[in-house]
Chain A
Amino acid sequence: MTQVARPTPERLDAFTLPSKPGNERLALARVAGTVQGRGLSDASLERLKTAVAEATMNAIEHGNGNRAEIPVEVEVTRSGDDITVAISDQGGETHPGGETHPGHGDHEEPDLLKKLDGDQSPRGWGLFLIRNMVDAMDVTTDGQRHTIWLTMRTTGAAHDEHV
């Protein structure tokens, strides 16, 4: 297999937020401002905003248990044509009900008909939305640190605007 050299990721922004419900809107707005004009289409930007809001909400609620003193960490990087947003909490491997943890919690593919028939909770759309909004998603755990990686592919056309 041919090895392709990957460019070193360029950090575009990094910030933390207290784990308070509603702060996902702050993450959404700041990430949107950071990536604006960097080659994402309007539709892709809207998708990324939704994914960032959902992932941050999960980190606040499931990862850090709504404990404001434990920050959610957000980092935005660009590597080649990819923009990646990494959202980290301290939920480790054992998120209670952690949707962003494959294999943990009450992760079940949402089925609208089951929900309408009362056979599944109306909730449980978070991870489903994230997966369907981004071009790639990954989840890593290092000790207590749990990170979800959201990647969007840009058109490349506007890369140099902010260099």
Chain B
Amino acid sequence: MTSMCEATTRVLPGAAVIELAGEVDGSAAGVLTAAYERAVTASADSADLGTVVLDFAAVDYINSTGIALIVSVLARARAERRKVVASGLSAHYREIFDITRLSDFIELFPDLDRAVSQLGTA
């Protein structure tokens, strides 16, 4: 299936940022996994590997399979003792993060700037 999801990865001091765009559904599995790998690899030299920021500002659709992908990323990050935070979710998807309890494990920020600044990586 052709993915309608794109991911850009960049590393800041203490955090790796994965900026997602398009649709986070089943077709995004490869894109999201590869982005996480890039983020982890690129930040391997950092003294603090603690945080992965998932930025959803340019995402217009997340379905149940996309939620499952995010759960998988979170599970892997937890196993690797990395923190995951999210930014840029619309009010609707913040609600979905709440009812699925993802927001119990992923701190939500209104936008990427605030996520980065509050993580002390600005």
- Do the two chains bind? yes
Which residues on A are within 8 Å of B, measured CB to CB?
21-22, 24-25, 43, 46-47, 50, 53-54, 57, 110, 112-113, 115-118, 121-126, 128-129, 132
With A50-B96, A132-B99 in contact, is A112–B71 under 8 Å at CB? yes
| CB-based contact B64/A129 at 8 Å | yes
| CB-based contact B64/A125 at 8 Å | yes
Is the contact region of chain A dominated by helix, strand, or loop, or is it mixed?
helix
A50-B92, A54-B64, A117-B75 are known contacts; what are 7 more A-B pairs with Cβ within 8 Å? A53-B63, A113-B101, A123-B64, A123-B65, A125-B64, A128-B64, A128-B100
Which residues on B are within 8 Å of A, measured CB to CB?
1, 26, 61, 63-65, 67-69, 71-72, 74-75, 78, 90-92, 95-96, 99-102, 104-105
| CB-based contact B74/A116 at 8 Å | yes
With A116-B71, A122-B68, A122-B72 in contact, is A46–B101 under 8 Å at CB? no
CB within 8 Å: A-B pair count: 62
| CB-based contact A43/B64 at 8 Å | no
Is the contact region of chain B dominated by helix, strand, or loop, or is it mixed?
helix
A132 to B64, CA, bound (A): 13
- Rounded to whole Å, the gap between the CB of A113 and the closest CB of chain B is 8
Closest A residue to B62 by CB, please name it: A50
| CB-based contact B71/A25 at 8 Å | no
Residues of chain B contacted by A115 (CB below 8 angstroms): 71, 75
A123 to B63, CA, bound (A): 11
| CB-based contact B61/A112 at 8 Å | no
With A25-B61, A123-B64 in contact, is A112–B92 under 8 Å at CB? no
Most buried by B among A24, A113, A125, A132: A125
